[in-house]
Amino acid sequence: MAATGTASASPLTRRGVQLILFALAMGGFAIGTSEFVVMGLMPDIARGLAVSEPQVGHVISAYALGVVIGAPLLAILGARMRRRPLLLALMAFYALGNIASALSPNYHAMLLFRFIAGLPHGAYFGVAALVAASISPPEQRGVAVSRVLLGLAIALLIGNPLATWLGQTFEWRYAFVLVAMIAMLTVVLVARTLPPDPNEPRQDPIRELRDFNRTPVWLAMGIGAIGFAGMFCVFSYLAPTMIHVTGVPESWTPFGLVAFGVGGIIGNLAGGWLFDRFQFRAAAIVLVWSALLLAAFPFAAHSMWTILPAVVAVGTMGALAPVLQAHLMDVAGGAQTLAAASNHSAFNAANALGPWLGGMAITAGYGWTSTGYVGAATAIGGLLIYAWAVRDARRLRIAEEAC
């Protein structure tokens, strides 16, 4: 059975589409493994570079800063390139950034190389999502996008523990070598499975910038930056919450990380399914669900029997990622590449905002479980931005009908 959208001049078979989605998801797996591995190897990297663990935390921030800056920058610079060679270049760049990280001679070099490694993160996901949507039937765009982002979720469950084990067993540098190898495997798979499309229209960087600077695009990213922050707020302080509130030994905290990874996979698949059935309204469904479960998290944190299911539920908030990624394709107009890539800048802003707000609440004396209430508040904030976006869309529709 041929797909209705194609990435080449000839129709793709169902098997061909699935192979392409697998190849694109492999890139997401590499990115997810690299993004979170520093958290698991923080003591090892601190010893290896002769710095403190809080200083290693700045390495994580350097990567996030690279994502925020690199997503729109590389999307603009690569706007005139066809998607296939752009994907190959971005993933090859990612492999080199991780090889450089593995070879870092000192702390400051590590900061620089992690920043460089983060640059192609958002642009890769943005272009991969556009390719996934273009080779899939219109009514299955959400599921196709979620398949690409599934690699990121599986990295939490498999890639990050594997890289952490490798780094602890041998040396932390080998974890980044592993990521580089996965990234190069992605280059090979994408080159073999994704055929060139001679009919693909070239993008105009000036039009991308013009269409990007529109209210619907900024509101969609605002939903991600604010509404998604609650998930990172709880996840960032999950280990101390389990130790100090749940009362389990430190050796039990990996079970919490696995539970979060399981929830991320469920949420990713659910997000694509929800968007295909409810379109943008799926964002409201996910945000309401997020506010309720985050508000309930403080009550569930006191028992191992309840915190693990609660952490799985928190992980399902990842459903918001494919929903917003697919929605941006509908509202971005001529800024498809820039908007799709910048969506990941918004999520990394949430990754910075959530832990910061949670840390303020904990420092103020409200306890480890206050992250749930803070997260619920950010989900409600995302709902308010969603209401603003719906109202703005209605206003634009009325204005168009009046013309």
From the list 200, 222, 213, 189, the residue with the least C-alpha distance to 76 is 213
CB atoms within 10 A of CB 360: 12
Residues of the chain with pLDDT under 50: 1-9
Whether 13 and 36 share a structural domain: yes
Report the b/e string of 175-210 with b at 16+ CB within 10 A. Answer: bbbbbbebbbbbbebbeebbbebeeeeebebeebee
In sequence order, the β-bridge partners of residue 2 are 13
Same domain, 211 and 124: no
Q: Contact at 8 Å (CB) between 336 and 204? A: no
Answer whether 122's CB lies under 8 Å from 341's CB: yes
Check: CB of residue 346 under 8 Å from CB of residue 224: yes
At 8 the pLDDT is 45
- My answer on whether 186 and 319 are in the same domain is no
Does residue 329 share a domain with residue 238?
yes
3-state helix, strand, coil in the chain (%, to 5): 85, 0, 15
174 shares its domain with 238: no
Helices 215-227 + 281-300 axis angle, to 10:
10
Of 201, 232, 253, at which residue does a domain stop?
A: 201
48 and 102 fall within a common domain: yes
288 and 167 within one domain: no
Give φ, ψ of 2 to 5 degrees. Answer: -85, 145
Number of compact structural domains in the chain: 2
Domain end (from 201, 220, 237): 201
For residue 1, being part of any structural domain is answered with: no
pLDDT at 54 (0 to 100): 62
301 and 370, same structural domain? yes
What are the structure tokens assigned to 176, written together?
């980044």
Which residues form the domain of 359? Answer: 203-403
Q: Within a domain: residue 349?
A: yes
In a domain, 129, yes or no: yes
Q: Phi, psi (5° rounding) for residue 334?
A: -85, 5
Half-sphere exposure (Cβ direction) of 20: Cα atoms closer than 13 Å: 28
Contact 73, 119 (CB under 8 A): yes
* 158 and 33 housed in the same domain: yes
pLDDT for the residue 5: 46
Contact 135, 3 (CB under 8 A): yes
What is the distance of C-alpha 192 from the center of its chain? 25
Q: What SS3 class is residue 2?
A: strand
Q: Are residues 167 and 225 in the same domain?
A: no
Q: Does residue 146 fall inside a structural domain?
A: yes
Cβ-based neighbour number of residue 364 at 10 Å? 9
Q: Report if pTM > 0.85.
A: no
Closest-CA residue to 25 (of 148, 186, 192): 148
Q: Does residue 2 sit within a domain?
A: no
| 343 burial via Cβ count (<10 Å: 0-12, 13-18, 19+) | buried
Domain endpoint, select from 186, 201, 216: 201
- What CATH number has the domain bearing residue 281? 1.20.1250.20
Contacts of 363 by beta carbon, 8 Å cutoff, 6+ apart: none
Task: Assess whether 138 and 194 both reside in one domain.
Answer: yes
Both tokens of residue 398? Answer: 């009325």
pLDDT at 126: 82
User: Is there a single domain that holds both residue 234 and residue 269?
Assistant: yes
